[in-house]
Structure 1
Amino acid sequence: MTPPPDNGQSKRNRRDEAREKARLAREAAARKKRRNRVFAIGGSIVAAVVVVGLVIWGISANIQPAGPGPKNMASDGLLLQGNAKTGAITATKTDPIKAGGKPTATDDSKLTKTVNITVYLDYQCPYCDEFETTNASQIKTWLKSGAVTYEIHPIAILDASSLGNKYSTRAANAAACVANYEPNEFLAVNTAFFANQPQEQTNGRTDAQIIKTVQKAGATSSKIPSCITSQKFKSWVGDATNRALDDKLPNSSVSKVTGTPTVIVNGKQYSGSLTSAADFKSFVTSQASS
């Protein structure tokens, strides 16, 4: 016959076992909590490092190192003059703006025998196209006769209108390449850019298409294509654009560019029709006699 259990001893054993299990459970829970805390801290550090890295990368990607501007655009624009005897249109030669330097305004005290026309334009701007297409022929005629000077300032304010292609900046850079290597072909290239202007909210033209336009217009220097594809003067385009948008426009009463085209004749802004050559001619004539 099996003897009955010793109830007192069994109860103590069960209590001791229960206490031991509870202790082990508490220790296991404490170890798990410590592990989770370590992993959480480690994960936070890794996440923070990733975020900081991305921020640094983003800043670095958007900072363009200052570079020199193109030759013959010391004013941020290229000044064209004509010879009444030969009909030749030539660019005024200047040194480039040094890296991190400031532009030098055209000295209009030396241009007292001409009407001086200045335009700030964006090659993606449809209104610039209207003005240039309407007035290109008569401006060229005035230049050939020596009656006017024409200073063209390419800027880039419509990059968002070419579906990520940043055509405004790339076209302004291409114009700067022409100014640097074949400045006397600048007017023809300027006209060609508007004749081949892409519509807003479409993909801007490719580098190959820009190069073809430039070459067909007469700027055939072998150095221009690589200047265009490398965007050699991209940082200058950004600087020149910011100056036009933020600073008073030299040799004028205009406080800053608020839209393109901004057309100035002998220091006064033209606010007439962009599609009437007669209106613009009348304004130029009035400034010549004032």
Structure 2
Amino acid sequence: MTECVHIGSFDEPIMVFGGPYGNLEATAALLAAAQRARIPPTRMLCTGDLVAYCADPQATVDMIRGAGITVIMGNCDESLGQGAADCDCGFAKGSTCDILAVQWFAYASRVLDADAKAWMRTLPRQVALTLAGRRLVAVHGNANQINRFVFASTASAETLEACAHLDADGILGGHAGLPFTEITQDCLWHNAGVIGVPANDATPRVWYSILRPVDGGIAIEHCALEYDHQAAAAKLVARGLPRPYAEALVSGMWPADDILPDTERHRGGQPLATHRVFWPHPERVRAST
């Protein structure tokens, strides 16, 4: 395991995505979307949790690893790599997600080969990059806790502290499963969402983002991804994995929402819209004030 790796400086678009969760169909669709957007694997970043709820842990790891995409360590990757007893997802003890995790984690532990687990142990906890002159640091949970949930309604309390701690202009976060972009005093917290399960918005779409250098700043594009969710769901059922997650892939609604703050819980079931957020360079911010 490496604490932080700097992967370079970029002046071209990068693609960010989280949580493939063993969803091979969604992972293949994402790679196809990247190819259409002419974004090579060297400009793609995964914010962790390669394996979780879905049916193809080994094949998903092989696909992402084989493509050469940069991946940071998520709590699931850490737990599976170390042969831990559970996923350390941060679910409340005895909650629906905690109970369901016992089954999918045991399956993933059994299916993943030793080489994949050894590779997971080598993943960095943080990845730094420079995009259009801005230093971004990717973490899974937050700067200090791999399984901390950070949502749009709670990000402002985390952003300034994390940016100061990591000497960053912006944070690329994961773990929470919902896409959002928040800017606090010119400091960014961006979560691309995940491609493994929908965003609790009553659609089967999953989410990723493209960060695109533009005149005066960086345009952050929240992008929806359609894929063969019916095939992915059928595999869960065929392999005896928790049916609530198979149903979630089709309905777009999570089996439980107890990890969500009130704001995000009340938004559940409302389809998200693709959109763009502009993050201006500091010079532009100063010029406009």
Q: TM-score, normalised by structure 2?
A: 0.31
More helix by share: 1
More strand by share: 2
Q: TM-score, normalised by structure 1?
A: 0.31
Larger Rg: 1
